[in-house]
Amino acid sequence: MATRGATVVLAAVVTFAFSATGAWSLPPVTVPFDVCAQSATWQRPSTDVQSTVWNNPRYGGLAVDQAYEWTHSFFWSETDSASISYDKVLLSGLWTESPRGQCRYRGTEGNQWLEIWALNHLVSGITIDGLVHTVTVVPQERGYEVIQFRRPAASKVRVRFVSGDGAVFTEWIETDPGMFSDWR
């Protein structure tokens, strides 16, 4: 029994890391995610083609550089709203790709999941360290991915997008459940 206990203690000590702040912490945990839609060939349409969306009365003459989904490579969507996803498809230019696939509707568990759209990037992994999700992505000339993953049952989270070598592309801070603001 003592040997088994000592082995467990030794294993626990090895899995802890000493942080820069001088505190002991656990290493980041890998987060599984579902790929609900993807393409390796999609590319954003030209602004002339996209102007058919901007001229739609639904968007009231929105200028090309005013839609977050048009000017960013990463954005989020709510997991419990088809109309919000529909708008994001139109505003990002993904309406030119068919079929897009579809993420699972999360209904009453919507605040327990995050949905991220990555344009011209493929998600290679997600880790969580405290309340910070790090999404590692690989830049691509073409394509997109839409993913969903379970979020911690905690207060506001951060989401950081990084390359394989750790360079940060962008970072978000959650302002309300499922709503984010650019941190960087």
Distance (Å) of CA 132 to CA 123, 159, 174: 16, 6, 10
| Lowest-pLDDT range of 39-48, 98-107, 141-150 | 98-107
Are 149 and 126 a contacting pair, CB within 8 Å?
yes
Q: What is the pLDDT of residue 77?
A: 85
Residue 106 has pLDDT above 70, yes or no: yes
Amino acid in the structure at residue 116: I
> Which residues, 6+ apart, have CB-to-CB distance to 139 below 8 Å?
120, 121, 163
pTM equals: 0.79
- Alpha-carbon gap, residue 94 to 49, rounded angstroms: 12
- Alpha-carbon gap, residue 169 to 160, rounded angstroms: 8
Residue 136 has pLDDT above 70, yes or no: yes
- Alpha-carbon gap, residue 175 to 122, rounded angstroms: 26
